[in-house]
A and B are shown apart, each in its own frame.
Chain A
Amino acid sequence: MTDLITMQNMVKIFPPNVTALDHVSVEFRKGEIHSIVGENGAGKSTLMKVLYGLVPPNDGVITFEGQQIRFHNPGEAIARGIGMVHQEILLISEYTVWENIVLGVEPVLSLGRMDRERARRQVKEKIEEFQFNLDPDVVVNDISVAARQKVEILKLLYRNVSVLILDEPTAVLTPQEIPQLFAELHRLGDNGHTILFVSHRLDEVLELSDRITVMRRGKKIDTVEVGSTSKEDLAHKMVGRDVIFTSRRTPKTPGDSIFKIEGLNFKSAEGRDLLKDINLEVCAGEIVGVAGVEGNGQFELVNTIMGLSEPKSGRILVKGEDITSASILDRRRLVAFVPQDRGKMGSALYASITENASMTHHLLNPSFTRWKGLLMNFHFAGLFTDELQELFSVNMSSKDSPFKSLSGGNQQKVILGRELLLPNPFILLDQPTRGLDVGSIEYVHEQILRMRSEDRAVLLISADLEEIFLLADRILVLSRGTIAGVRRVEDTSVEEIGLLMLQGQKEAV
């Protein structure tokens, strides 16, 4: 096989001083499925965006079909046959599948009228050609996330791309939906399409790819044939050390009941039931995992626990204290909270690391203030931040630099440290490892298990089943705002939980 695309000595520096790509050279062959793996911030997405014309490189040479190229925008890339599907799905939800697909390149009749018949027929032909099992006439709003992803891919195929870049496409899929996507990708590969697959999930990559390129900290570490590598080998290359994949959870009998939700209901402003009759309990020294496809009530559950929205009925209790309508500050005396969106809920990006680490502590721990709470004691806050850095091995240059200067993993460590160092009996974790790299995830998991051994009650909301199975004692499945099932982790399987997750979901079309 010949090299279809070569990228030589690619350099990209994001101001002020983040070297996203450090002289990366890589070749992609025609018709192969080539995965690019790496931790977050390894530069894999940047490399693809450079190829696609979304990010201008500072240096380096790209060739495509033997010719030197450089795309200045995605339009030029698509015109040459290179297309990219992003993590976020960008479709018009009120339009039908075929309307979304032809949007921007509609076949026209005279006077600029759109040839709807021809457009629809062409889309239908494409669907049949690639056996995508998709109805061109349904409105995007009514189809599953997996189906929307197919629409995104078809959009590119309709534009006759020969190279497809997929950026973490499985992040939004349930375990049942992934094999189907892979089957389709294999079919495309057999068809002569080249597929570049960005991921950090090693199992998937091993299953799907022909070749795998591993990146670490902006550098290419290696490109390997799939037959000559293993998960452990890839993880080692990715992280630079050995990673343990098995759970270190030790058997433990849960203690007293700490956190309890009784008959919780929540309706949207339009009166839709978003949470229906939720009952759950978390005991001391127990981790309860909440599994479910995103958008099935997790957001509302977190908001009602934290006091951002008021439930219609039901009670929330921590250590017997009813906090259903307590102030946020009163909740925070009992609840430690790690939000899923670091930037939106968990930090002030331009404030210093110390200032971010002091939040909530400054209200609960008198040492953080002087003069009866009037003045901040930034000296003590600084010592606390040093301690946090030590305990949670945060990699930072100065505690006075802006929070933004930390990498994602280190930001999460600071937030996690801040919350876990609160003496609160109950810990609410909302996607605590989202967007983190393997090394950081391993670390966060360790800390969560430590909380369990300290007899704290942990409620872990996660879209990542692997994570839930690794950590949780009990698994609770949330589907369309109701609890579809509760299982002890020893008595269930990923398949069973996956089925429960899909119960009551819109059918994949």
Chain B
Amino acid sequence: MIKKILTGLMGIFIALLLGALLMLLQGYNPIETYGALFQFSLFRPGPFATTLKNSVPLILTGLSASIAFASGVVNLGQPGQLLMGALAATLGGIYLDLPAPLMIPVLLLLGMLGGALWAGIAAFLRLAFNMNEFIVTLMLNMIADYFTAWAIAFPFMDKGANSPMTPPVNSSGWIPEVGGVNLSVLIMLIAVAASWFLFNKWRAGYEWRITGQNSLFARLGGCDTNKNFTAVMLVTGALAGLAGCLIILAGPHRFLRGLGANYAWDGIMVAIVANNGIIATLLYGIFFAAIQTGALGMELVTNVPSEISQVLQAVLVLVIVASRGVLETVVDRWDARRRVKEPAT
């Protein structure tokens, strides 16, 4: 555990150093740039609240990918599941008008259902026709992309708007802010906690984890691997759907074209950086959201273009993923060398 945190921090440190080098080459002052970046994301209450809010879809899609990957399910359909969840919640929000304490949970469930059903298609195709979920979920992303684009441009378009978007959801479905922090953050934290509990304490989670490591062992042990596969697909689809739903309810309150464009892919990236760990996904999700959020503020006070944040993200991913093995090997080697020096016993 300590080793994990240590190698993670070392990875971040090396990545930031490399980023600084790139800035120096471009003629920017790295200390000033980093200062601005983190001022506008982590070290002030207002920006920190924004960072947290922005981290919600990142973490939820990351969680979706982490659980799927750790269970041996290659669900790469988070972008599509996010869109379908967002659409389901939006439509529910337009046509339903319940009191807020009822409205919000109903819309959350609708969003999760939208994502779960979309992922369920891939699960069904795998079980019925043995079609690889890897390719099916990727293809379903495209269908979801164009389907939602059509839905907001034709049947559900806001007649008063001049670009494709739905009307706003009824205000009882808007997720409020408390003390400057959007409550979607709380919902996300609950989802993370529930996922952790499911994955680590439930019998199903135990079987998923074992299946993710060695599906033949789980199968021979008597686990119903088909049922588990379907369950993982539905749960991870629901998480991605929840991400889409929360984007709508916490932010624009309506479905706009290009909504959540990169959140899901960034989420998958977070899962990979986090090595499919649930807590690690939460922490890295916040960190990546901070870089994305801080970039805008950084652009305001320095000359550095906000695109540098994408460069920084890429460097972070590469360094952390690559160094994970290397740093551990370095530690092990150092340990071995120390023991060689010990006298023969």
Contact = CB atoms under 8 A, between A and B. Distances in A.
B70 to A, nearest CB: 11
B336 A374 contact: no
A257 to B, nearest CB: 25
A373 B214 CA distance: 22
B223 A363 contact: yes
B340 A13 contact: yes
A359 B213 contact: no
A433 B230 CA distance: 37
Contacts of B214: 343-344, 347-349
Interface residues of A, number: 41
Contacts of B44: none
A347 B220 CA distance: 10
B210 A348 contact: yes
B210 A351 contact: yes
A349 B222 contact: no
A13 B217 contact: no
A9 interface: yes
State the main secondary structure of chain A at its contact with B.
Answer: mixed
Most buried by A among B201, B210, B221: B221
Interface residues of B, number: 29
Given A9-B344, A350-B213, A308 B220 contact: yes
B134 interface: no
Interface string B103-128: 00000000000000000000000000
Interface string B202-214: 1111100110011
A300 B221 CA distance: 18
Contacts, number: 89
A19 interface: yes
Interface in A78-137: none
Given A22-B344, A58-B336, A345-B216, A359 B210 contact: yes
B203 A329 contact: no
15 contacts: A15-B335, A16-B332, A17-B339, A22-B344, A308-B219, A337-B220, A347-B217, A348-B214, A351-B213, A355-B209, A355-B210, A359-B217, A363-B222, A374-B202, A374-B204
Interface of A: 9, 11, 13, 15-17, 19, 22-23, 58-59, 306, 308, 327-329, 332, 337, 339, 343-351, 355, 358-360, 362-364, 369, 373-376, 378
Interface of B: 201-206, 209-210, 213-214, 216-224, 329, 332-333, 335-337, 339-340, 344-345
Closest 4 CB pairs of A and B: A15-B332, A359-B221, A348-B213, A329-B222
Given A344-B217, A345-B216, A376-B205, 13 more contacts: A9-B344, A15-B332, A22-B344, A58-B336, A308-B219, A328-B219, A332-B222, A339-B220, A345-B220, A350-B213, A375-B202, A375-B203, A376-B202
